[in-house]
Structure 1
């Protein structure tokens, strides 16, 4: 649950301001916990059947063909989008690590080169056969995410508030501030993005009529969300409190001292996104290979796996090199694809399947989530695209 998106939360706060920022953080926590509960509940709502994939649930709600077309493209964009963002994150964190431990190094390496180094790890790990194969990597990623989140806010607090701290919204005029506000909504949405693999995770839990999988799964979700709150809120609030609107789109980039701790935190980020990249890449590999074998009659083989997985890793690497704008990418993907799959698609499916009574508490709650989610999906990409375009004006591509 705790992803690299947490590092952008202080920056999002600088574009939202204290009041709206805190309100949106809390509201996102509540809404996404509610929609996650819905997905856990819907996993085994048909006796004797388990919906082990997001698209299977979509097909049950909307029909075989329509459900597939509604869910699969969104899931695919989510997973590819996260992989691109994590390529950028891994490369930038590696560069920060290098620059922190060797500030006077005569060897100058660009972000593009560090992204290529980061991609090399995935050219190896992507050939592991399944989720179980990356259990150790996933566990390490979880520990690392908690570690760098804690370092981010404790180091900020230890640094103390900047003498000239400014809490006014970033932007030279009202128009720019408005676009930045929209982009920040997407940053927050990206941070709360754990729904796309929740059914696959629940599918690995044994289930019987006496002890359905939703019981242990829900306990896991509650623990995860408590940990999310303990990571997200301190990082967002302390980071903004200390640096104000001068904070970078990755708070660890802003922090400089103590050097050894900041270097360690950035390496923790690298280890975390190595594991997280694989978590989101595995379903894409499965989708591509299933399509090639079942629809295009390719023979399942090591060669097929090697070519498809290597090509995918290289594709995400090249896109990350071309647009390594952490904040802009987070805002765009957070709004464009995480908002539907995380904020309102579970609500739409709940209404379609359970048909709660009009104006009942369930009906109202779901429609509120849908309206807020659609607004997020429309507004966040607008602001984020402007951020990417403005950043691209001064960026030397592949430089």
Structure 2
């Protein structure tokens, strides 16, 4: 659950301000916990059947064809978007590690660091399933807790900066509004576990006496307690110490102690290696199923080798072309994560369970849907504007 999006939370706070930022952080935590509970409950709502994929749940709620058309594009955009952002994150963290450890070395282009990061995935992508990446996933989880803790403790150690300011950074009203929109997407991106939660629950044994939702819900609660312990200190402490001058990745704002910042950046690299695979696995599954079932390709090692390498190459190419961490987070956070994380589970719940009008369940779901739609509409506008502004001064493939 704890993704690299946590590193952008102080920057998001700088664009939102203390009041709105605090409210949005807490609201996002509550809404996404609620929608995650709904997905865990719906996994086995039909006796004797398990919905092991997000689109299977969508098909049950909306019908065979409509369910696919609603869920699959959103899920694909979301998972591919995360993989692109994680390529950028991995490359930038490797670059920061190199600069911190070797201050006298000549500068190496970000492009090369993204390619180094991608080279790992040309190997790992050929692992067969979720269980086979459990070791990588465990390492990723430990790393995410470690670099989150380093991010806020190192900020405390650095102390409040002399010229710190907490006002909005943009000079114009329109700039402030667009930055606010982008920050909403940054927060949404941080809560990104819903897209693979059913695939993860599918790996838990289940019987009528002991359904999988029991242990899964316990796992979700533990995950969300850890999320709160990571996200809130990083967001609030990072903003308190650096104000509106904080970078879109908090680790870039931190320079000392050098050994600790270098270690934190390597933790980020290890974490996003594992996270990339978790989000890439369902995409591989979709691509290979389409090729075999629809286009009648013969399932083989060659097919897997070509499709997976092409996918890794594609995400690497896009990341090298648009390495804008903050803008990409804002764009994908709103455009892709808002539907699958904030309100699609609520729409499914209303379609399947049909709670009584104006009951607590009905009202809670409609509040989530309304807020999620606003998020999906507004944050990609801010994110896209940020990407365009950064692209103006950026030298491509430099």
Normalising by structure 1, report the TM-score.
0.99
- Structure 2 equivalent of residue 80 of structure 1: 80
Q: 1:277-321 deviations in whole A, cap 9, x for unaligned?
A: 000001111111111111111111111111101110010000000
Partner Cα distance (1:217, 1:165) in 2: 43
Question: 1:71 Cα deviation (Å)?
Answer: 0.2
- Structure 1 stretches of at least 4 aligned residues deviating more than 2 Å after TM superposition: none
Q: Secondary structure at the match of 1:163?
A: coil
Bigger CA drift: 263-272 or 201-210?
201-210
Mapping of residues 243-392 of structure 1, within 5 Å: 243-392=242-391
State the number of aligned residues: 398
Residues 55-102 of structure 1: CA deviation (Å, up to 9, x unaligned): 000000000000010000000111100000000000000000000000
Aligned-partner SS, 1:391:
helix
The CA deviation string for residues 331-372 of structure 1, in whole angstroms up to 9 with x for no partner, is 000000100000000000000000000000000000000000
2:65 is the alignment partner of 1:65: yes
Partner of 2:163: 164
Say what the alpha-carbon RMSD is for the aligned residues: 0.5
Question: 1:13 is matched with which residue?
Answer: 13
What residue in structure 1 maps to residue 103 of structure 2? 103
SS at match of 1:329: helix
How far, CA to CA, are the matches of 1:248 and 1:134 in structure 2?
Answer: 32
Once the two structures are TM-superposed, the CA of residue 169 in structure 1 deviates from its matched residue by: 1.1
CA deviations on 1:8-57 (whole Å, 9 max, x unpaired) are 00000000000000000000000000000000001111111111110000
Any residues of structure 2 matched to 1:164-203 within 5 Å, and which? 164-203=163-202
Displacement of 1:170 = 1.9
Structure 2 partner of 1:30: 30
Cross-structure match for 2:207: 208
Give the Cα–Cα distance (whole angstroms) in 1 for the partners of residues 210 and 135 of structure 2: 28
What is the rounded CA distance, in whole Å, between the counterparts of 1:136 and 1:8 in structure 2? 26
Normalised to the residue count of structure 2, the TM-score between the two structures is 0.99
* Deviations 1:175-208, CA, capped at 9 Å, x for gaps: 1000000000000000011100001111111111
Equivalent residue number for residue 220 of structure 1: 219
* Residues 170 and 180, structure 1, Cα contact 8 Å, conserved in 2: no
The separation in 2 between residues aligned to 1:155 and 1:217, in whole angstroms, is: 34
What is the distance in 1 between the residues matched to 2:13 and 2:373? 21
Shift of the alpha carbon at 1:271? Answer: 0.3
Q: Name the SS of the counterpart of 2:164 in structure 1.
A: coil
The aligned counterpart of 1:55 is 55
